[in-house]
Amino acid sequence: IPQGTTFIVTVNYTGRPGVYNDGDGTTEGWFRSNKPVGDGAFVTTEPVGSMAWMPLNNHPSAKPTVDVYDTVNAGKTAISAGELVSTQANPPDANFPGGSVTWHWRSPERVASYLLTNSIGSFDLAQQTVNGIQYYWAVPSSIPGSRKAKDKAVTDQQPDITQFQSQFNGPFPFTSNGVVIGLPSASFAEEMQTKITFPDGFNRTPSADVLSHENMHQWFGDNVSEAAFNLTFWKEGWATVGEYLYAARIAANKAGGPGTATGDAAFDASLISQFNTTYGTTNKSFWTGAPSNPTVMSLFSGSSTYMRPGIAYLALRQI
The DSSP code sequence of 257-298 is -TTSHHHHHHHHHHHHHHHHHHHT---GGGG-S-TTS--TTT
Section 225-237 average pLDDT: 95
Q: How far is CA 263 from CA 162, 246, 254, in A?
A: 20, 14, 7
Section 80-91 average pLDDT: 98
Distance CA 35, CA 163 (A): 36
Query: Would you say 211 and 196 are in contact if contact means Cβ atoms under 8 Å apart?
Result: yes
Q: Left if phi > 0, otherwise alpha if psi is -120 to 50, otherwise beta: which for 63?
A: beta
Asked if residue 56 has pLDDT above 90, the reply is: no
Q: What angle do CA 129, 131, 134 make, to 5 degrees?
A: 30
Section 256-284 average pLDDT: 96
Burial class (CB in 10 A: 0-12, 13-18, 19+), 98: exposed
- pTM for the model stands at 0.95
pLDDT at 24: 81
pLDDT at 301: 86
Query: What DSSP designation does 115 have?
Result: G
pLDDT band at 244 (very low <50, low <70, confident <90, very high): very high
Section 73-97 average pLDDT: 97
The answer to whether the bond into 47 is cis (omega within 30° of 0) is yes
Percent of the chain beyond pLDDT 70? 100
The answer to whether the bond into 17 is cis (omega within 30° of 0) is no
Task: Give the phi and the psi of residue 245 in degrees, each rounded to 5.
Answer: -70, -35
Query: Would you say 22 and 297 are in contact if contact means Cβ atoms under 8 Å apart?
Result: no
pLDDT at 128: 97
> Whole-number mean pLDDT of the chain?
95
pLDDT at 23: 78
Section 66-74 average pLDDT: 96
Nearest C-alpha neighbor of 84 from the set 68, 67, 106, 66: 106
Alpha helices in 113-231 (DSSP H): 145-155, 158-169, 208-216
Nearest C-alpha neighbor of 45 from the set 17, 68, 70: 17
